[in-house]
Amino acid sequence: MKILFLGDVMGRAGRTAVAERLPALRRDWGLDFVVVNGENATSGMGLSGAHAKALLEAGADCITLGDHAFDQRDMLQFIEREKRILRPLNFAKDAPGRGAAVFTATGGRKILVAQVLGQIFMKRPFADPFSDIDALLRAHPRGGMVAASLVDMHCEATSEKMAMGHFCDGRASVVVGTHTHVPTADAQILPKGTGFQSDAGMCGDYNSVIGMEKAEPMRRFVTGMPKGRFTPALEEATVSGLYVETDDRTGETTRIEMVRQGGRLAQAGP
Ligand SMILES: [Fe+2]
Ligand SMILES: [Fe+2]
C-alpha cells in the first residue's frame, strides 16, 4: 500500500499548499491512502468543520488532530458527524469523537489509523499513550484484519517519539511524529519493519517560528514581553511529511521517503 502522511497543516498557507498539491501527488505517486494532520489548519489553532471539509476534498482520507483538537468549538460536534477525523486516543475521557479507526484504502484494503499524545513537556498531563497503543495494536495485528496500520505520535520530545517507534516496531506499519512542526532527518525502517520518522514537519511557511509570523514569538523570546497575538505566516508553504510503501500481507514498511514539496525547504519526495 502506498501511504502519504502530511504533518500539521498550518493556517491558510498550509491549507492552500495542500489543496494545490495533494490532488497531483495522489495521482502522480499512485497513493492508496492519505492521512493529514489538521490540528493547526484554522488560524494555527485547531480545525473548523469548513476547513476539515476542504482538506478532505483536497484528498485526505483521514485527518488527525492533536493537543489543539478542540480549539475551534464547532469541532466538538463536527467530529461526531465526520468519522474521517480522529482526535488523540488519550485526549480526555469525555472527549467527543474517536482516537482510532479502521479505514478502507484502494482495493478494499483495511488500514488502522490512531493518534496519541505524549506526556513530556505537554501543556496538560495526558494519560499514558503506551498502554492505549498496546491494547489497540493487540486488537489489530498488522497483516491480519488490517493490511497496514499507522500511529501518529503527537508530542514534543523526540525521545518519547523514538520510544513509541520502537514500542510499535513489528506491530504497526508506520509510526510518525507530529506537533513540533520541524521535520527530522531520521526516516527509517526499524529492525522489525515499522516505518518511522520522529517528526513529519508542518505543511506551512518555514519563514516563521514554527509556522507563526516570526515578529511576535521573537519579541517574546528576546524581551520576555508579549505585545500582540500569534498569527500564521502566509508565504508559500512547504508540504512536509512521509511517504511509505507497505507489504499488504505482512504489514511491514518496505520503502520510506521523506516528503518536502514547494516553499522554502530543500525538496524531497519518492
Ligand atoms: Fe501542531
Ligand atoms: Fe500539537
Separation of CA 109 and ligand 1 centre (Å): 29
Q: Is 267 helix (H, G, I), strand (E, B) or coil?
A: coil
Across the range 6-27, mean pLDDT stands at 98
Q: Is 117 helix (H, G, I), strand (E, B) or coil?
A: strand
Separation of CA 66 and ligand 2 centre (Å): 5
Active-site annotation holds for 68: yes
Ligand nearest to the CA of 181: 1
Q: What is the pLDDT of residues 198-219, one digit of tens each?
A: 999 999 999 999 999 999 999 9
Catalytic residue among 68, 154, 179, 181, which?
68
Residue type, 64: T
Separation of CA 210 and ligand 1 centre (Å): 9
Rounded to whole angstroms, the Cα distance separating 5 from 190 reads: 18
Question: Is the pLDDT confidence value at 89 over 90?
Answer: yes
Separation of CA 122 and ligand 2 centre (Å): 9
Separation of CA 179 and ligand 2 centre (Å): 4
Ligand nearest to the CA of 117: 2
> What pLDDT sits at residue 233?
98
Separation of CA 211 and ligand 2 centre (Å): 12
Report the DSSP beta bridge partners of residue 255: 245
What is the distance in angstroms between the CA of the first residue and the CA of the last residue of the chain? 14
pTM of the model: 0.98
Across the range 31-52, mean pLDDT stands at 98
Give yes or no for a contact between 265 and 238, defined as CB atoms under 8 angstroms apart. yes
List the one residue out of 64, 85, 60 whose CA is nearest residue 4. 60
Ligand nearest to the CA of 9: 1
**Positive/negative CA dihedral, 126, 79, 108, 105:** negative
The stretches of the chain forming alpha helices (DSSP H) are: 11-28, 49-58, 75-81, 129-139, 158-168, 215-223
Question: Is the pLDDT confidence value at 144 over 90?
Answer: no
Q: Which three cell numbers stand for residue 209?
A: 517560528
Q: What is the pLDDT of residues 219-250, one digit of tens each?
A: 999 999 999 999 999 999 999 999 999 999 99
Ligand nearest to the CA of 8: 1
Cα–Cα separations (whole angstroms), residue 221 to 117, 212, 214, 218: 26, 14, 11, 5
> What pLDDT sits at residue 143?
84
Mean confidence (pLDDT) of the chain: 98
Separation of CA 145 and ligand 2 centre (Å): 30
